[in-house]
Structure 1
């Protein structure tokens, strides 16, 4: 068991003997004194702490932006870490130069994170359009400059054909495989490479924290200063990093990131893709996993309502075998699930679209991007000759768990999906739920919104869609 976390820092091999649950942000600002990376919200929302994380893919190293405030040091073992200081070599990085030339910074606090996000975009998308630029900046807040000069700087870099990240080549990672276990100062970080190794660890250490991307758990680590004394990371479990496809289904290993899910569902379920872009910035989507979003069992988690409406199944694995169940049956009560002490979520399976199927998911929140849902509603119907043959409706934020509206579904089946059926469906939803009131919205507000979304779905599939930028 090693005491050293081994990685590349701005192109140079680095070893750090610190608790593996120390945040990358705290380490950067203390040991190497790379203070260009700032602490703003300490929750993964503002982007001031953004860094680039690189992993070998084929014959190149691919980088993505990540929030260092909710990233544990153990999570960068065997990887390449680039800070804003590492972008500059003999000359400024093209993004840095464009930001300076264009007057794209005032106080400068948010600027390093913005530069990092745009550098990650430039490295992976040679000529991004405005949509890609805005998506890359959705996880970065700037309160004084204004986004127009920032976007103009990004366009200038895009016009120049992008820019690669200076760092180690693929061959340099040959002797830097993620270590099986790292332990220092009372914190142990396990990194199993196979499902069999993971399941043995899960049996031997049932109280250890299971860590996917850490975008939820990392908030407590950073903001509430909790400790992770025993962690089992899922990031390197080969079987849980696989995306599969059959004639009728897409399957995602539990450690597949939302960025990877987005790339695969965008063509099949564009409404789901829109939801994924909204509930997580590039920094969050590149870290957060589909299994983690399910396993945290939040009643306002954005993934489960959409997945339940699509008819997703979940695979649970232990040394005793595997269990498969409908995702809706996985959730039992507030933060309680079917997952046993010796089990892990292994994968999630989603049916492909069927002929005549219409699917939409709507998220209601105070901000359009990167905000907690007040209500999340997902609708899926299949129609034949105008008549509804099947319906699945699921809500988040309306109960202690993500839940289907079964009576509302029954109202729709057999109908012509007309105004009368929509009204009956809305009434069934109002009768079925008893949501709570909190700072995001009162119970009455949630019920009214949930009922109104049935009509929105109806008008949407009827071709009356209106682009809404904030709900």
Structure 2
């Protein structure tokens, strides 16, 4: 049994561990405005907005938006794909759907703008687009004097696909929301609502004393998590569910038991140390982004290419690593930064370099009963530089065909501390030590890079799949080395480097 609020109204419903928010809405709750399109978190037709009192920043971590650490925070409504969001994670939250926006016949600015700008044709995708615009409008209301940044606009809509209208009217609708009457949903006038939401427990209402029974398990501490994993060794771990839930929607699997990581305090923290940060495995990309933007802007920019707003609001860095996909976007970058992992299990805590974690396709160094607890991100040196380039068939919300990450520093005109890593080339993300050795201590000229390119060709036999052939991947990887050389040459000649060459690149 879970308790939450839906469009301002309290709900108490029973759900099975493998029920999605979309199934709950269109089934027992009878809210059919939210549509199922792809059932894989790609199209955005099922977009809803969710506010949870504990979401928005890790409790003991890096402060965001100037908010004092540990103080209560106004509810932030973040978009999510209902098709791949577990229903039990609504516990203690406020769920907003397209039915909850209008006030009688008076439309919310997101709805009124879509009507006025002819942003809808068949209308199937429209509810999801409206919900993305609603979340954007809520953010803009907090900073009314700030102009809508084009990047923020694109990021807000990058998870919503429309096959018939065209995006210009939708963009026009987004830009004109501020010109509409600021109609607030009826639930927004309830001064007691936020207090009532905060009063809900984070634990399911039916939490049994005997936690060995099947169902959704919600441990609150790392010790409880390890004990729960021992009692339910067959149960999948779930945090953002952006990958796991495809087993339900695409492969029709069913789970009798799930172990939810979102309540585990140690996994939701960002711990700052003298020389870096331990990022809890259940910290979302949205929560991680401010720290990266301050210290690793190239890495932060990559996050704009990782999934969509709906995905980044829920997906976790720990999931991207533990999933051990060869096309995961963050592992190659973390390899160049000499990241380490903290693993927790029945034998205690141990650490190992990220480079030692990936053993083979979907095979890792995790022992039975272990989980990824945190990722160590070292502080950058002032003279270190980082570049990340992702190749994919479309810019937004797409899987990598190939991703290259490069870190270095220039010392007396030669390259030092060189790190080169690629994803999408083999069964695991790889550091290419032969390429690093070819460039270490060398002036960044054509001769050194020609040797590095040959070392790359000799080191890799790329895979072929639907996203790219072996030959394409090898050619593209060599070309990224050339892009890196050109970036260094521009910097050396004081020629401004194009923005696209600073952070991420779409093919």
Aligned counterpart in structure 2 of residue 18 of structure 1, from 11, 15, 19: 15
Closer/same/farther in 2, CA of residues 460 and 250 from structure 1, 3 Å limit: farther
Which moves more between the two structures, 353-362 or 34-43?
353-362
Alignment check: 8 A CA contact 1:40 1:48 kept? yes
Task: Summarize deviations over 1:271-316 as a string: whole Å, max 9, x none.
Answer: 2122111122110001100101101100111111111111111100
Q: CA deviation at 1:399?
A: 1.1
Q: Distance in 2 between matches of 1:142 and 1:357?
A: 42
Aligned counterpart in structure 1 of residue 329 of structure 2, from 302, 311, 314: 302
Query: Which residue does 1:171 correspond to in 2?
Result: 195
Task: Summarize deviations over 1:127-181 as a string: whole Å, max 9, x none.
Answer: 4322111110000001111111211111122466988774573311244112267
Mapping 1:16-415, distance limit 5 Å = 16-56=13-53, 58-90=72-104, 91-126=106-141, 127=146, 128-158=148-178, 166=187, 169-179=193-203, 188-415=215-442
Q: Secondary structure at the match of 1:61?
A: coil
Query: Which residue does 1:470 correspond to in 2?
Result: 506
Alignment check: 8 A CA contact 1:279 1:370 kept? yes
Q: Distance in 2 between matches of 1:89 and 1:349?
A: 48
Task: Summarize deviations over 1:376-435 as a string: whole Å, max 9, x none.
Answer: 111111221221121111111111111100010011110011111111111111110111
State the TM-score, normalized to the length of structure 2. Answer: 0.88
Alignment check: 8 A CA contact 2:112 2:180 kept? no
Alignment check: 8 A CA contact 1:195 1:237 kept? yes
Task: Summarize deviations over 1:3-42 as a string: whole Å, max 9, x none.
Answer: x121111111101112131111122112222111011111
Tell me, yes or no, if structure 1 residue 440 matches structure 2 residue 460.
Answer: no
Closer/same/farther in 2, CA of residues 196 and 441 from structure 1, 3 Å limit: same
Q: CA deviation at 1:52?
A: 0.5
Q: Distance in 2 between matches of 1:177 and 1:149?
A: 42
Query: Which residue does 1:421 correspond to in 2?
Result: 448
Q: Distance in 2 between matches of 1:155 and 1:187?
A: 48
Q: Distance in 1 between matches of 2:413 and 2:182?
A: 48
Task: Summarize deviations over 1:54-99 as a string: whole Å, max 9, x none.
Answer: 1125242111000001111112122111111011234321111111
Closer/same/farther in 2, CA of residues 379 and 158 from structure 1, 3 Å limit: farther
Q: CA deviation at 1:458?
A: 2.0
Give 5+ residue unaligned stretches, structure 1: none
Q: Distance in 2 between matches of 1:72 and 1:163?
A: 31
Q: Secondary structure at the match of 2:438?
A: helix
Q: Distance in 2 between matches of 1:164 and 1:147?
A: 26
Alignment check: 8 A CA contact 2:5 2:197 kept? no
Q: CA deviation at 1:355?
A: 2.5
Q: CA deviation at 1:223?
A: 2.0
Q: Distance in 1 between matches of 2:182 and 2:475?
A: 47
Q: Distance in 1 between matches of 2:163 and 2:431?
A: 40
When the two chains are superposed, the root-mean-square deviation of aligned CA atoms in Å is 2.0
Q: Distance in 2 between matches of 1:392 and 1:169?
A: 51
Q: Distance in 2 between matches of 1:169 and 1:260?
A: 25
Query: Which residue does 2:64 correspond to in 1?
Result: none
State the TM-score, normalized to the length of structure 1. Answer: 0.94
Alignment check: 8 A CA contact 2:338 2:354 kept? yes
Q: Distance in 2 between matches of 1:150 and 1:182?
A: 44
Alignment check: 8 A CA contact 2:237 2:259 kept? yes
Give 5+ residue unaligned stretches, structure 2: 55-71, 492-496
Closer/same/farther in 2, CA of residues 59 and 212 from structure 1, 3 Å limit: closer
Closer/same/farther in 2, CA of residues 163 and 431 from structure 1, 3 Å limit: farther
Q: Distance in 1 between matches of 2:354 and 2:182?
A: 41
Q: Secondary structure at the match of 1:323?
A: strand
Q: Distance in 2 between matches of 1:243 and 1:18?
A: 32
Task: Summarize deviations over 1:342-377 as a string: whole Å, max 9, x none.
Answer: 111111111122122111111111111111111111
Q: Distance in 2 between matches of 1:210 and 1:365?
A: 29
Query: Which residue does 2:66 correspond to in 1?
Result: none
